[in-house]
Amino acid sequence: MNIIKLNAIPSTNDYLKQLSKEYPLLDFTVVVAENQTQGKGQMGEVWQSENGKSLLFSVLVKYKNVDTSSLFLLNALTALSVINAFESYKMDGLSIKWPNDILSYNKKIGGILIENMFKSSGEIHAVVGIGLNFYQTNLEHLPQASSVYHTYGKMIDREEVMIKIVEYIQKNIPELIDKADFWWEKYHDKLYKKDTPNLFQKDGKTFTGIIRNVTRDGFLQLEDESGNTQTYGLKEIKMVY
């Protein structure tokens, strides 16, 4: 893989997207930064990071002949790749909070943002952005967040973890569509609060629901207290945890 290392930039996703427009980049080109001044989360939210204490990178993944309804599979594979890398260091208690937050014992230690660029050739270039908390210790102002060091007491090499994650994606993506059922099962096995009653908020109202499924195009399916199943998209609903 080709790794581009930078100090401080607004966003690794934005940098990689612009670079791919200007140059014919190799598949699995990686941009990694010590700090992001305008890091992005889902739906335009800001990803907060401390300089030198997080792993902040984006990787270019190229698709061919993929149905757009299957694109969420890359989110699933990416989240599983992060967990697989961490579990290789004997870290447990890891899960995926829909759609793609990485949790450790109910605390967020990372997030994923994937932005797709559709080419006239029919090829899809996905910019996979990953932000992971590694060495943060002052988390009093972030009660739902944690870090690798804060939770596990481990000073793991960030670049080593990044390479493990990218290699795992690179190894498995050729068969991602053909083995969609397999990856979908693994994603649901790690899905936070699946089949467990939990509180959710929608339009300012709180209710109890049970996560039963995430659809192939990334929608969350909840069973309500009446036993009916409702489907929700991003930002339509918030889990209270």
User: Is the sign of the CA dihedral 126, 130, 31, 29 positive or negative?
Assistant: negative
Residue 44, pLDDT score:
46
Same domain, 206 and 98: no
Q: Are residues 152 and 202 in the same domain?
A: no
Domain count along the chain: 2
- Has residue 141 got a pLDDT over 70? yes
Check whether residue 102 and residue 143 sit in a common domain.
Answer: yes
DSSP state at residue 153: -
Contact 136, 109 (CB under 8 A): no
215 and 175 share one domain: no
Residues 118 and 205 in one domain: no
What digits encode the pLDDT tens for the residues 64-101? Answer: 767 777 789 999 999 999 999 999 999 999 999 998 89
Task: Give the residue numbers spanning the domain of 206.
Answer: 197-240
Residue 235 has pLDDT above 90, yes or no: no
Residue 121 CB coordination number (10 Å)? 7
Both 120 and 218 in a single domain?
no
pLDDT per residue as tens digits for the range 21-67: 999 999 999 999 998 876 555 444 544 567 789 999 999 999 876 77
126 & 97 share domain: yes
217 and 182 belong to one structural domain: no
Report if pTM > 0.85. Answer: yes
pLDDT digits (tens, 9 = 90+) for 143-183: 889 999 999 999 999 999 999 999 999 999 988 888 999 99
Kindly state the greatest CA–CA separation across the chain: 54
